Amino acid sequence: MKYISLLGATGSIGMQTLDVIKSHPDMFELVAFSSGKNIELTRKIIQEFRPQLVSVAEKKDYEQLKQIFPDICFSYGLDGLIEAAVFDKADILVNAVIGSVGLHPTLQAIEAGKVIAIANKETLVTAGHIVMDAAAKYNVPVLPVDSEHSAIFQCLQGENPKNIERLIITASGGSFRDLSRKELEQVTVDDALNHPNWSMGAKITIDSATMMNKGLEVIEAHWLFGLPYEKIDVLLHKESIIHSMVEFHDSSVIAQLGTPDMRIPIQYALSFPERLAAANGKKLDLAAIGKLHFQPMDLERFRCLHFAFEAGKAGGTLPTVLNAANEVAVQKFLNQEISFLQIEDLIEKALNSHQNILNPSLEVIQEIDLETRKRVSTLL
Ligand code: NDP
Ligand code: MG
């Protein structure tokens, strides 16, 4: 039995993690979870899973839940997230919150010796060097949940990392892959939220449309697999069947394929090194699919991917600025305060007006993260 603490249980990855836990009750048990403001769903999850500890975003919800479920421990805010992350009964932390708010809980869980299953890519983008150093120091595995990184991780089983020539991260292209830059001027929030292959939370769906999601994934791959950016490529593959590939020195390429269903990589992170029956029971039917398509990635068309490569290569605090500026800009787009193309304009301005600080400490990262969030609001 593996005991699980889940941050972001009410989100897209969170709910799919609960599905995986539910479909293998003899293997997994939810002992703690956190949610944000969706209290109705929080109550349903408590009733169904009966965890020992639950953390919510706001104090008023915490007060209310304590009355309703007197036999369960509650907490709230960032302290609550951390409490859930380090809960002593848990072996594994699944971090499925959105944004760099996931950084502190992850670091604390590493120090507490928890296995980390990470969906929360913003944490690795904003402070990858600190997270991976801590994981090495405390000898804690950081297992990928993101489908591309799970694919690479699976392709690398039994391989010597020294033999890697390059990683090939596949990209579906998001909601607007077939639109020209001119056509992008007019797109709406609803258009952007309509992803062709995956059903995901709002922020990552916008990130997929701007291609920032792929940019964040490039930086995530750099940290998870310890490879330089020159060895990380992105390939457009609209079917989302090949989740990513690894090319080796002998020119062999190993790929991982599957139906586009996040429960498969989530489950692999939880069951690793074992494999369990798929929660959805669906098999990949290549004969029915017939053809798979590939196209080179155009970094002029997808400027956010270009920014991410540049920020990643430069290192220091630039990835923190990239991530914080993106989080703010995407929220502004979702609130209909800015247009779609203004997302990348804001990120570009934030990056260009930042004086990079190399080898930043955790304190410096937090400071730059906050400062960038304030600055982006004034850049409009
Ligand atoms: P969602 O927006 O669907 O869910 C986010 C979760 O985090 C919710 O439970 C939300 O709570 C909670 N949350 C949000 N803000 C806070 C906060 N300030 N404090 C505490 N909790 C908070 O996101 P996704 O599930 O789509 O994505 C989660 C992470 O996984 C992201 O980093 C994303 O990039 C990554 N990812 C997602 C994939 C997907 O298919 N969705 C695929 C690969 C990676 P509430 O709703 O209750 O307010
Ligand atoms: Mg992904």
Domains of the chain plus CATH, in order, are: 2-144 (3.40.50.720), 149-261+283-314 (no CATH)
3-state secondary structure the chain: CEEEEEECCCCHHHHHHHHHHHHCCCCEEEEEEECCCCHHHHHHHHHHHCCCEEEECCHHHHHHHHHHCCCCEEEEHHHHHHHHHCCCCCCEEEECCCCHHHHHHHHHHHHCCCEEEECCHHHHHHHHHHHHHHHHHCCCCEEECCHHHHHHHHHCCCCCHHHEEEEEEEECCCCCCCCCHHHHCCCCHHHHCCCCCCCCCHHHHHHHHHCHHHHHHHHHHHHHHCCCHHHEEEEECCCCCEEEEEEECCCCEEEEECCCCCHHHHHHHHHCCCCCCCCCCCCCCHHHHCCCCCEECCCCCCHHHHHHHHHHHHCCCHHHHHHHHHHHHHHHHHCCCCCHHHHHHHHHHHHHCCCCCCCCCHHHHHHHHHHHHHHHHHCC
- Count Cα neighbours of 175 within 13 Å in the Cβ-side half-sphere: 22
Give the rounded distance of the alpha carbon of 304 from its chain centre.
17
Per-residue confidence (pLDDT) for residue 161, from 0 to 100: 96
For residue 61 and ligand 1, the question of a CB distance below 6 A is answered with no
How far, in Å, is the centroid of ligand 1 from the Cα of 350?
A: 24
CA distances from 203 to 113, 147, 176, 235, 379 (A): 30, 17, 15, 22, 21
Preceding omega of 273 cis (within 30 degrees of 0): yes
For atom 43 of ligand 1, the residue with the nearest CA is: 146
For residue 137 and ligand 1, the question of a CB distance below 6 A is answered with no
How far, in Å, is the centroid of ligand 1 from the Cα of 18?
A: 14
Binding-site residue positions for 1-deoxy-D-xylulose 5-phosphate = 121, 147-148, 172, 195, 208, 213-214, 217
Task: Starting from the CA of residue 14, give the closest ligand.
Answer: 1
Dihedral (C-alpha) 227, 91, 272, 262: value to the nearest 10 degrees?
A: -80
Binding-site residue positions = 10-13, 36-38, 120-122, 146-148, 172, 195, 201, 208, 213-214, 217
**Cβ-proximal residues to 3 (8 Å cutoff; 6+ apart), any chain:** 29, 31, 89, 90, 91, 92
Per-residue confidence (pLDDT) for residue 281, from 0 to 100: 75
Query: Which residues on adjacent β-strands are paired with residue 245?
Result: 168, 255
How far, in Å, is the centroid of ligand 1 from the Cα of 14?
A: 7
For atom 36 of ligand 1, the residue with the nearest CA is: 119
CA distances from 181 to 18, 194, 297, 341 (A): 39, 18, 15, 9
Neighbours of ion ligand 2 (CB under 5 A): 146-148
Per-residue confidence (pLDDT) for residue 42, from 0 to 100: 98
CA distances from 241 to 107, 198, 257, 285, 342 (A): 33, 11, 5, 10, 31
Atom of ligand 1 nearest to the CA of 37: 48
Per-residue confidence (pLDDT) for residue 40, from 0 to 100: 98
Give the rounded distance of the alpha carbon of 172 from its chain centre.
16
Identity at 221, one-letter amino acid code: A
For residue 122 and ligand 1, the question of a CB distance below 6 A is answered with yes
- Number of C-beta neighbours around residue 286 at 10 A: 11
Residue that has been written with the tokens 């594994």 in this structure: 92
Q: What is the pLDDT along the chain (380 residues), one digit of tens a residue?
A: 999 999 999 999 999 999 999 999 999 999 999 999 999 999 999 999 999 999 999 999 999 999 999 999 999 999 999 999 999 999 999 999 999 999 999 999 999 999 999 999 999 999 999 999 999 999 999 999 999 999 999 999 999 999 999 999 999 988 898 898 899 999 999 999 988 888 899 999 999 999 999 999 999 999 999 999 999 999 999 999 999 999 999 999 999 999 999 999 999 999 999 999 987 778 999 999 999 999 999 988 899 999 999 999 999 999 999 999 999 999 999 999 999 999 999 999 999 999 999 999 999 999 999 999 999 988 87
Could you tell me if 5 and 33 are in contact, meaning their C-beta atoms sit under 8 angstroms apart? yes
